[in-house]
Structure 1
Amino acid sequence: MKSKFAKKIALVTGANRGIGFETSKQLSQFGLKVILTARDRIKGENATKKLKDQGLDVIFYELDVTDKENITNVCNTIEEKFSRLDVLVNNAAILYDPYQSALNADLEIVNQALRTNLYGPWLLCQAFIPLMKRNNYGRIVNVSSGAGSLHYMNGGAPAYGISKVALNALTRKLASKLAGTNILVNSIDPGWVATDMGGKGGRPVAEGAKGIVWACLLPNNGPSGGFFYDGQTERW
């Protein structure tokens, strides 16, 4: 599928399976070159091969979003090889913890969730925004959750939910600092999706990824600093 997005480059974290894998697939089908990343090299390479076997333009980089040195090395490699990154999808996330409550949560588990679900995206944004500024173009998509909405908040899954609330706050702060540029930053709630993390009974992965892809392909006058579900405004 050819399109006006054919020369753009996207990086998707946590993309060896689930929503990240499907997002990589759909972006590739729109003509973007996709850098599929994952912590596990073998799983990441196998996922990349599946998409390449479909004729899609996907390459693999090993990336642990909690490792600042690893992030810096990947950023330097992309800058040297492509001189640009147009789309950053912060999808990698861990620790959906419905077995905990806010009353008795193990704060070390909460800290682990924050390291991946908040600090990882934050480090990646700090690494790649200068490159986006240089090219006057960027779409940053933070994959959030309904569990991160204060409107729907309850006492369960505290590590995961609080990490996603914080990710939404990061979206707002980055969007504010980037106002007036052509770098748009948004949070996306993909809904309850049938993945290894989401479990059975959720919506199909392809449907969950569509809202993410929508935010990746926003026009220059598109929204920034928002929280969306299937392209519609979600309650914070």
Structure 2
Amino acid sequence: MEQVWANFGPVWEWGKSTLALLGLGGVTVGGAAAVGYGLFKWLGEKWIDQKFKKQMETYKIEQSRELERLRHKINGVFDRTIRLHTKEFEVLPDLWGKLVEAHAWGANYISALQEYADVGRMDDEELEEYLAGTTFMEVQKRDIRDAPNGSERLKTFTKISDLYRHNEAAEKIRIFATSLRKDGIFVKPEIKADMDELLKLIRDAVLEKRMNEEDDIRPRLRDEFKRFKNEAQQLLEKIEAMIADRLWDSTTTEV
């Protein structure tokens, strides 16, 4: 309003000139004041309207910029969420499959019930045919052939077979452990924690069994074997349920 008051003097002079042109130069001071007040009010309203329009334009521009910023941020978050969920749904089935294999091969290796071909009762021709179908190294096959009797032959064969079973179980464990290390970042923390725990159960039980065989420990170490037997299957089923819930959640959630 200060600007309006500053412009009032020139406006008043202009008003007097206008009155003179209209032949109203003799208008009283009161009349002139009324005319001046009308002009002042009109100019004040115009100034307020212009000021309001300018502020509204500025506000609209700021609001538009803020909406654009929020839209960009929301789109970014939504895009990252979609990418993360897509990767999670790729990773979970793969990890589950590798975990099942690691568990199965580990359980088979540490099992007290093992089946072996009775190579001690085979003749030389039968033995050669059987050994040809194995993946044993030639030096290992030779050790079996050269055993002094059927009992030693079976003992040598059993020892070599157990080594291969250990290596196969250890390889399945390694594959799962590597995948979990690489892709575990895409798995929900509670699922990953249970996977890590089950991995440790399998690995420790397999290692204990291998130590028993290599060092011929008597009496046999069985603490890790017992933990595996008591906890592994239940933990595996828990992980399966959590993964299934996670994978199927998006198809059952109401929008």
Q: Which TM class, normalised by the smaller chain length?
A: under 0.3
Q: TM-score, normalised by structure 2?
A: 0.25
Kindly name which structure, 1 or 2, has the bigger radius of gyration based on alpha carbons: 2
Higher share of residues assigned helix: 2
Higher share of residues assigned strand: 1
Q: TM-score, normalised by structure 1?
A: 0.27
